[in-house]
Amino acid sequence: MSASKVLTEWGVMVEAEASYGAGATMVAGEDGLLALERPDVDFDWLHDGQRRGESGPMSHGIKRVGKSGLFGNVPLISEAHGAGEAYSASKVPNIHDILVACGFTATLTDTGGSEKYEYTPGAGVSAGIEVYNLEHKYLLKGCYGDLSISSDAPDVPVWEFAVQGLLTQPSEAAVPSITYPTVVPPKAVGIAFTLGNYTGGIVRGFDFALNREISPRVDQNVAAGHAGFTLGGCRPTLNMTVEADAFTGDPFHGADAINPYQLAEAATALALSFQIGSTQYNKWKLEASAAQIVDVEEGDDGPSGLWILTIELNPTTSGGKDNLTITFD
Amino acid sequence: MGLIVKTEGETTVHVPRDVVVKGGKAIDEYVAKARGPKRTKASEKNDSPEPNTEEVSE
């Protein structure tokens, strides 16, 4: 009797592809993404083999045909941190490649002493990903992802990348010896949340969603039936949970008072920002220039009244893509 | 596009993805080549107009 395959060890490596679907050559010392939760690869197909018909000669079912268009969905749960030293072409934030695969354009500013990476919505670059789990190796190519970031305590925010990619059948393999960065990720304390003039809020937590559209490409002209994915648009939204605060009059946002109901009704576009961490080369900031409150949900935490503010991060001009910037500096 | 590189006082360079995947050294070399050779005092001297040594006839 053979031993059971175990789930106690896993590993993930991510690397940008030179061209779409080309895959990537992984280097265990450079390409590791520390997955905090088990990266279970969910198998899916563009056609699952089911045939048409529900009644008549098919009333008791009908034998299927083979499946086509295999792809994988895998949630990669991680944390973000900086390079821990001056950014350069080779010194990047730990989530660089997977963030770019979520449809961000990366800009490196390498002016001495103020090096930084900025990520803005753009075309993105697909990634090749190797997932090791259940003593299997899952090879994914042409991967794109959606991004969410959340935190509900003074803790390290969780970055979740919901990845889709072309998948080949798994092979048996042990987890390679992956070297992960040693930089400790910054925590969500002293985040300096700013919405317009409002800076004095008591922030209970936040939940950012990029809401990136990823569209599969059926291809009858290839044996696999699947040509990969296309990145579509995004609708970045931030849910900010703050303690209900004092109202203020027009323009409805002051240093220590805010009226989100009026701001939502007026669709006032405000500058928004918050920052995680304070140490150079190991902090990141999310900024938006046209943040609009679209909904105010009233909640509670014991006797404390809360507002869950649903904030859309929209482009500053029609047709623009400057919804937000994530800066590592 | 793979990466945009900005440096104060220098031209912004758009590095294609096939170069980006080769790593930091390849990116640095691409950026340096795109920006051209750095100007030195010697090259600036060479750019200055030749002094007019012709004698002017009265």
Minimum CA–CA partner of A108 in chain B: B5
Confidence band of B41 (pLDDT split at 50, 70, 90):
low
Distance CA A191, CA B1 (A): 32
Confidence band of B57 (pLDDT split at 50, 70, 90):
very low
CB-CB: which of A18, A91, A110 is closest to B7? A110
For residue A87, the chain B residues in CB contact (below 8 A) are: none
Contact of B30 with chain A, judged by CB distance below 8 Å, is answered with no
Residues 271-300 of A with CB under 8 A from B: none
pLDDT of residue B38: 67
CB-CB: which of B2, B5, B17 is closest to A110? B5
CB A158 within 8 A of CB A141: no
Inter-chain contact A89–B31, Cβ cutoff 8 Å?
Answer: yes
pLDDT 10s digits, A172-227: 999 999 999 999 999 999 999 999 999 999 999 999 999 999 999 999 999 999 99
Task: Report whether pLDDT(B51) > 60.
Answer: no
Confidence band of A54 (pLDDT split at 50, 70, 90):
confident
CB A296 within 8 A of CB A260: yes
Q: How many CB atoms lie within 10 A of CB A268?
A: 19
pLDDT 10s digits, B12-29: 999 999 999 999 999 999
Average pLDDT over residues A313-323: 96
Mean model confidence pLDDT for chain A:
97
Q: How far does chain B reach from its first CA to its final CA, in angstroms?
A: 64
Phi, psi for residue B41 in degrees, rounded to 5: -60, -35
- C-alpha B14: how far from its chain's center? 15
Average pLDDT over residues A226-251: 97
Contact of B13 with chain A, judged by CB distance below 8 Å, is answered with no
User: Letter for the amino acid at A219?
Assistant: D
